[in-house]
Amino acid sequence: MKDKKELQQVTNCALCADMCKYSCPTYLASGNETISPQKIARLFVYEDKGLLKDRKGFSDVMFQSCMCGACKRHCVYSDYDLRKFIQMGRSIAFKEGLLPDETKKRVKTFTKYGNPNGERQLIQKGTGTVGYFISCSAYKDEALLKAMDRVLTASKMKVQQFGGADICCGAPLYYAGDPEGFTKAAQKMKKQIERRGLDRVVTMCPNCLKMMGELYPQVGVKLNVQLAHTSEFLGSLLSERKIKVKKAKGTATYHDPCLLANDMDITVAPRQIITALGYEIKEPVYTKDHTHCCGAPPGARLGFSKLADQVKSMRLSELKQTGADIYVSSCPSCKAVLSNLGVKDIAELISEQIVHG
């Protein structure tokens, strides 16, 4: 490692008591010490000393993190994020051609179609300078597309909806450890936004928001737009009375998407919406800044489907314990992964309760 500060940081982590592992979903779900944060850091110390001979083993550990940020959130050092090193490890694996098969498949599809899901139609609807970017994960979900459409129509706001085809924030390449591919995807997204004359972009996927707001600038791509998550945008439509809703009765458990809680501190807006819709919130034990990742779709951030399933099962049983009437989240991937609990997105909840006129 060339940077002395980085080597110092990762060495401190390798020598730490590793208490953050009790917030790490991959460790908790698998019980595998090798993939706990401090053990991951040790691999970088070994790598620096030239002691790491098992290149595939190293790569496999890098792809057994769901990049959720719980270790950053609970780290004893305020300026440390282990994910920066995991990301370096992924770039090494990418260069050495050692990606896990599921990640390799996603990169291949992305290279062919410009998105991780394959051939798609372009969605382009509406006018105005506010854009609603339909992420790859939202594009796959017909009910979500309809719900957002219904809410936006009812609000009478001028919003351009765009997505599908080869429009993607580039997250699949970022997580695969391909910085060049990710930079190109970021530049392409900037052009898509500028071509539409947008000054504000709203997205439902926390990953897209993280890419556009935090990671594009790191590769020299600055979007000259205001960014918002749908929970913030829809919350403002409700508080400004641009949409009216009838009240429901019952209890709701909200699953905090990991990146939304750990990286963006967005935990209040979704709860305000759920409360405004009439539900009493029943919090799970692991909630807000103690949330656990759902595991995300296999191959997306976690390279191994067996581990993704273990993380998913753990999160499902944590949520189930509340015994709430309904389960809600605000990320299309969380909704898909936690489908056994019939999780709905807050946009769907609003859409069901809209009152016209």
Interface contacts to ligand SF4, rule CB under 6 A? 12-13, 16, 18, 20, 24-26, 37-38, 41, 65-71, 75-77, 80, 82-83
**CA dist 24 → 38, 267, 311, 321 (Å):** 11, 19, 10, 20
Among the listed residues 83, 7, 88, 131, the one whose alpha carbon sits nearest the alpha carbon of residue 263: 83
CB of 179 to ligand SF4, least distance (A): 19
Q: Exposed, middle or buried by CB within 10 Å (0-12, 13-18, 19+), for 353? A: middle
Strand-strand pairing, 244-245 and 354-355: antiparallel
Nearer to ligand SF4, 20 or 215 (CB): 20
Q: How many whole angstroms separate alpha carbon 249 and alpha carbon 243? A: 19
Nearer to ligand SF4, 14 or 277 (CB): 14
CB of 43 to ligand SF4, least distance (A): 12
Nearer to ligand SF4, 83 or 271 (CB): 83
Nearer to ligand SF4, 282 or 315 (CB): 315
Nearer to ligand SF4, 9 or 137 (CB): 9
Separate counts of helices (H) and strands (E) for the chain? 19, 11
Using DSSP's 3-state secondary structure scheme, residue 151 falls into helix
Q: How many whole angstroms separate alpha carbon 46 and alpha carbon 154? A: 58
Contact 133, 126 (CB under 8 A): no
Question: Which residues are paired to 162 by β-bridges?
Answer: 124, 133
Among the listed residues 143, 255, 130, 145, the one whose alpha carbon sits nearest the alpha carbon of residue 196: 130
Nearer to ligand SF4, 42 or 120 (CB): 42
Q: How many whole angstroms separate alpha carbon 100 and alpha carbon 93? A: 9
CB of 40 to ligand SF4, least distance (A): 6
CB of 36 to ligand SF4, least distance (A): 7
Nearer to ligand SF4, 204 or 294 (CB): 294
Nearer to ligand SF4, 30 or 115 (CB): 30
CB of 302 to ligand SF4, least distance (A): 8
Q: How many whole angstroms separate alpha carbon 315 and alpha carbon 324? A: 15
Nearer to ligand SF4, 160 or 262 (CB): 262
CB of 72 to ligand SF4, least distance (A): 7
Using DSSP's 3-state secondary structure scheme, residue 242 falls into coil
CB of 21 to ligand SF4, least distance (A): 7
Nearer to ligand SF4, 19 or 143 (CB): 19
CB of 90 to ligand SF4, least distance (A): 12
Q: For tokens 């982590």, what's the residue?
A: 13
Spatial neighbors of 315 by CB under 8 A, at least 6 apart, are: 25, 255, 292, 293, 294, 295, 338
CB of 307 to ligand SF4, least distance (A): 10
CB of 140 to ligand SF4, least distance (A): 24
Tokens of 158: 């001028």
Contact 170, 194 (CB under 8 A): no
